[in-house]
A and B are shown apart, each in its own frame.
Chain A
Amino acid sequence: MFDDFFIRALVAGIGIAFVAGPLGCFVVWRRLSYFGDTLAHSALLGVTIAYSLEFNIAVSIFLISSAIALILIQLQKKTNLPSDALLGLLAHSSLAVGLVVIGFLTFIRFDIMGLLFGDILAVNKKDLLTIWVGGALILLVLRLIWKPLFASTVNYELAQAEGLNPDRAKAVFTVLLAAIIAISIKLVGVLLITGMLIIPTAMARNLSDNPKKMVIFAIIGGLLSVFIGLFSSLEFNTPSGPSIIAAALALFIFSLLKVKQTIQLKN
C-alpha cells in the first residue's frame, strides 16, 4: 500500500496535520510564530550535518533546533538585544551557515529546492514511521504538559502561584516544536513549516469560541490543506510544501467569510 509515492506523501501529511494542529495553537497563543520560523531555518543546518556525518536526518534536525533554542535563551539573558532581533540573527545566520556548508559538500548532490519547499517524492517508508511514531510521542507529551502550558499561556504568575510548573512546560514545549520541525521537513520544507503550524490555526481561530474547538478545527484545517495541497501538487506538478500552504491560505480566506457574518450578526 505504501509503495505508491503519493500514498506515502498523503499518509505523512495526515500524520503531520494531527500534530501541527495542537502545537500550532500554542504557537499562535504564545506568539511564537517567529520563534518557530527560527527553529525551522536552523533545520537546514541540521540536514547538512546529517548528510556530512551520515547521521539520521530527523534526529540531527531535532538536535540542532533544540541547540538553537538553548542558545536563544542564553542570548536573551546575556545581551540587551530585543527578542525579535535575536531571533532574526539566529534564523538567518543558521540558514546562511547551512547553505555555506552545503556549498562545501560538493561530493553530495543536494536538492536545495526540495529542502526549502518540500518534496512529495522524498517521503520514504522510514519517514512514515518517524512521522507517526514521533508524532504520537509529541502528542502524548503535549497531553502531559497541557495543563501547566495552557494555564501559563493565559497567565504565567497565576499558574506558578497555584502550584503548576510553567517553566518546565515551556522548555518541554520548545523541544516539541523542534521535534515537529524535524519530522515534517521532508514534506513541507524548511521555509514553510511555520505556515503549516499557524495558517490552519489562524483559520481555526476564526471559527471557534473556545480552545478545544480551536484545536479540533486546526487539525481539520491541516488535514484539508494536506489533501487539497497534495492532490494539486500531483495534478499541477508543483512543490508539495507551497501547495499545502496555499491550500491552507484558501481555507483561511473562506473562514474570513464566517467572521464577517458574525460581525454583521452582532450589529
Chain B
Amino acid sequence: MSIGNNILIKLNNVGFKQNQKWLVQGVSLQVEKGKIVTLIGPNGSGKSTTAKIALGLFKNIEGQVEKFTNNIGYVPQKISIDWTLPLRVRDFMLLTDNLTEDVIDEALSLTGVISLKDKSLGNLSGGEFQRVLLARAISKKPELLVLDEPVQGVDFTGEIALYELIKEISEKLNCGILLISHDLHTVMSATDHVVCLNGHVCCSGSPKEVAKNSEYKALFGEQASQTLSIYEHKHDHVHANDGDIKKN
C-alpha cells in the first residue's frame, strides 16, 4: 500500500458465475477510508454476491479484488443461530477475535445494546439482534466494514436511527463502509457514493446523481426519486461558522 493512499479495497471488473449463470458481472468500485459506499438494487441484482466477492468468499471469480487491509468487520445478510448452540451476546462478541471486556462494552454501548450482554442470542428481537451484529462487527475497530442489509427486521424509525449510527461509526472509527441496502432514500444522508446494481452496474455516483439517473428511475420507478426529493427538503437550513442557522 502506497503512502497517502486511502483506498481500502478495490474491485476491478469483477463477476461471479454459478451453474453457468452470471450472478453479477463487470462491477468496479472502491471503498476509501472514512467513506460509505452503498450498493443498491432490486432482489437478485447481485448486491450480496458483490459483497461476498469483495470479502473473498468465492473461489473462481472473474476480475480482481485488491485488498489493502485485513482488518474487516462483516455483518452478513442472513445468520441463524442454531438452538443446539447456547450462545450469549458476550460469547458472540468474541467470535472471531479475543477482545477485552472494555472493548466489548464500548461496542455494545455504541449500538445501544449493552443491557443485553448476558442475554441469550436466541431471545433477542430482530432489531436487537441487528444491533448486536453491528456491535460485533465494529468491536475490533475494523478498517473496512461490510454491512449486508444491516437494518432488516427493524421498523422505520429504528432504520433511520441505525443508519445514523452507521454514519457515526464511520466517522468515529474512520473506517470505510461497503453498505448494502434495498432502498435508497433511508441511506441517503449517510452515503458518499452509490452503486446501483442489476446484474451489472446500472449507474453510479453521488446519491443525487443516481436518483436523477434514468436507469435508476427505470429500475425503481419514478416514485423512488421523488421520495428522495422529499428527504432532501429536510435540509432547509445551513449552519454558519458562527453557529448561526440560516434558512436557504
Taking a contact as CB atoms under 8 Å apart, the answer to whether B88 and A209 are in contact is: yes
| A139-173 near B? 1/0 per residue, CB < 8 Å | 00000000100110111011111111000000000
Interface membership of A86, Cβ < 8 A? no
**Shortest CB–CB separation between residue A25 and chain B, in angstroms?**
9
Query: A208 in the interface, Cβ–Cβ < 8 Å?
Result: yes
- B 73-97 to A, binary, CB cutoff 8 A, 1 in contact else 0: 1101001011011111001100111
Q: Which of B76, B82, B84, B120 contacts A157 (CB 8 A)?
A: B76
Listed in ascending order, the chain A residues whose CB lies under 8 Å from chain B are 28-29, 31, 147, 150-151, 153-155, 157-164, 205, 208-214
Q: Name B79's closest neighbour in chain A (CB-CB).
A: A155
Residue of B70, B85, B120 with highest tally of chain A CB at under 10 A: B85
Q: Check A208–B86 contact: CB distance below 8 A.
A: yes
The proximity string for B residues 107-150 relative to A, scoring 1 for CB distances below 8 Å and 0 otherwise, is 00000000000001000000000000000000000000010000
- Report the bound CA distance from A73 to B115 in whole Å: 44
A162 partner residues in chain B, CB cutoff 8 A? 72-74, 96-97
Q: Given known contacts A158-B76, A158-B95, A162-B96, is B52 in contact with A29 (CB within 8 Å)? A: no
A209 touches B120 (CB 8 A): yes
A157 contacts which chain B residues (CB < 8 A)?
52, 55, 57, 74, 76
Does residue B56 face the partner (Cβ distance < 8 Å to A)?
yes
B86 touches A158 (CB 8 A): no
Closest A residue by C-beta to B92? A154
Is B96 in contact with A214, judged by CB distance below 8 angstroms?
A: no
Contact A151 B85 (CB under 8 A): no
Closest to B136 in A: A158
Task: Specify which of B55, B72, B86 is in contact with A209 (CB 8 Å cutoff).
Answer: B86
Q: Are B86 and A159 in contact (CB under 8 A)?
A: no
| Contact present for A153 and B96 (CB under 8 Å) | no
* Partner among B56, B86, B97, B146 whose Cβ is within 8 Å of the Cβ of A205: B86
Chain B: how many interface residues by the 8 Å CB criterion?
24
* Chain A residues in 8 Å Cβ range of B81: 154
Q: Could you list 9 examples of A-B contacts with CB < 8 Å?
A: A29-B85, A155-B79, A157-B52, A157-B74, A159-B95, A161-B57, A163-B96, A211-B86, A211-B87
Are A211 and B85 CB-contacts (below 8 A) given A158-B76, A161-B72, A164-B96?
yes
Task: Pick from B52, B73, B86: contact of A214, CB below 8 A.
Answer: B86
Q: Would A158 and B84 be within 8 Å (CB), given that A209-B120, A211-B91 are in contact?
A: no
Known contacts being A29-B82, A211-B86, is A154 close to B95, with CB within 8 Å?
yes
Report A-chain residues with C-beta under 8 Å of the C-beta of B146: 161
Considering the complex of A and B, which 8 residue pairs feature the smallest CB-CB distances, nearest first? Answer: A161-B74, A161-B55, A162-B96, A29-B85, A151-B95, A151-B96, A209-B86, A155-B79
| Residues of chain B contacted by A209 (CB below 8 angstroms) | 86, 88, 120
Residue of B nearest to A207 (CB): B86
The smallest C-beta distance from A171 to any residue of chain B, in angstroms, reads 16
